[in-house]
Amino acid sequence: MSRNPARPTPPATVTSLRQQVSDLHHELVRYELVVWTAGNVSARVPGQDLFVIKPSGVGYELLVPSSMIVCDLDGRVVEGDLSPSSDTAAHAYVYRHLPEVGGVVHTHSTYACAWAARGEPVPCVLTAMADEFGAEIPVGPFALIGDDSIGRGIVDTLKGHRSPAVLMQNHGVFTIGKDARAAVKAAVMCEDVARTVHISRQLGEPLPIERASIDRLYDRYQNVYGQSAATNDPGASR
């Protein structure tokens, strides 16, 4: 796979991404998607074969921009004094094989993990799911942490799939996005719909949405909903 020619990375770009990635980790806590030190956010450095990710085993309350780690697309540390996340190899694999992805998130959120423990996709039975995911939230294969097996499972499952989220069997949620913020949003939405569909199933079988309606909802939300690029508030979600 071809790589971008080596050239200096503007310090301001990495500094900005370190700040963004640090801030987004606190969003995982705010939305109750993680506990203790589990979970991670990463962001690709634009135009470079690099990404920024959290350090391994450091409490969220201690995370600051300077503690974020810069790695190359083989997962090797380029900048940073701490060891990178134990999921670094998975993030690196995604960036190597999905060049359109600018951000990756991993969470162990409760309801989504419950579906992952069953190895069961979350069916697309809500308009909010059709908007964000355009389909069911799929299940990826069981894989052990430590090499790029998880990354391979993520890529193999999401290639050609509309969903930016995958439930890795017996593990947890991985989401992708055009940038790290979009990947965090997908993780938030994944947990929200996993919870709602679970509650719905306690009342009976959820009603399906016709594929044609899912397609229309997805197209509207992805291409029409919200403000134009010139006026869009980067802090807005829905």
Q: Which residue has the higher pLDDT, 57 or 1?
A: 57
Mean pLDDT for the stretch of residues 56-63 = 98
For residue 165, is it within any domain?
Answer: yes
186 Cβ contact list (under 8 Å, min separation 6)? 105, 132, 133, 164, 165, 175, 176, 177
Residue 47, pLDDT > 90, answer: yes
Q: In the chain, what percentage of residues exceed pLDDT 70?
A: 92
What is the pLDDT at residue 3? 53
Report how far residue 218's alpha carbon sits from residue 161's, in angstroms, rounded to the nearest whole number: 13
For residue 119, is it within any domain?
Answer: yes
- Cα 58 off chain centre by: 20
Each residue's pLDDT tens digit, 169-209: 999 999 999 999 999 999 999 999 999 999 999 999 999 99
For residue 191, is it within any domain?
Answer: yes
- Catalytic position from the list 49, 87, 131, 179: 131
Residue 231, pLDDT > 80, answer: no
Each residue's pLDDT tens digit, 9-18: 667 899 999 9
Each residue's pLDDT tens digit, 73-123: 999 999 999 999 999 999 999 999 999 999 999 999 999 999 999 999 999
What is the pLDDT at residue 25? 98
Residue 5, pLDDT > 90, answer: no
Mean pLDDT for the stretch of residues 33-46 = 98
Neighbours of 19 (CB within 10 A): 15
Residue 236, pLDDT > 90, answer: no
Report how far residue 153's alpha carbon sits from residue 90's, in angstroms, rounded to the nearest whole number: 9
What is the pLDDT at residue 237? 47
Active site residue 225: yes
For residue 228, is it within any domain?
Answer: no
What is the pLDDT at residue 146? 86
User: Which pairing describes strands 69-72 and 77-79: parallel, antiparallel, or unpaired?
Assistant: antiparallel
Q: 39 to each of 24, 34, 55, 88, 200, how far by Cα in Å?
A: 11, 6, 11, 11, 27
- The CATH number of residue 40's host domain is 3.40.225.10
Active site residue 131: yes
164 Cβ contact list (under 8 Å, min separation 6)? 132, 133, 158, 175, 176, 177, 182, 183, 186
For residue 81, is it within any domain?
Answer: yes
For residue 229, is it within any domain?
Answer: no
**What is the side-by-side order of every strand in the sheet holding 40-44?**
77-79, 69-72, 50-53, 40-44, 103-107, 172-177, 165-168, 139-140
For residue 4, is it within any domain?
Answer: no
Residue 216, pLDDT > 60, answer: yes
What is the number of domains present in the chain?
1
pTM value > 0.85: yes
Residue 150 is part of which domain span? Answer: 11-223
For residue 209, is it within any domain?
Answer: yes
Q: In the chain, what percentage of residues exceed pLDDT 90?
A: 89
For 46, phi and psi rounded to 5 degrees? -55, 130
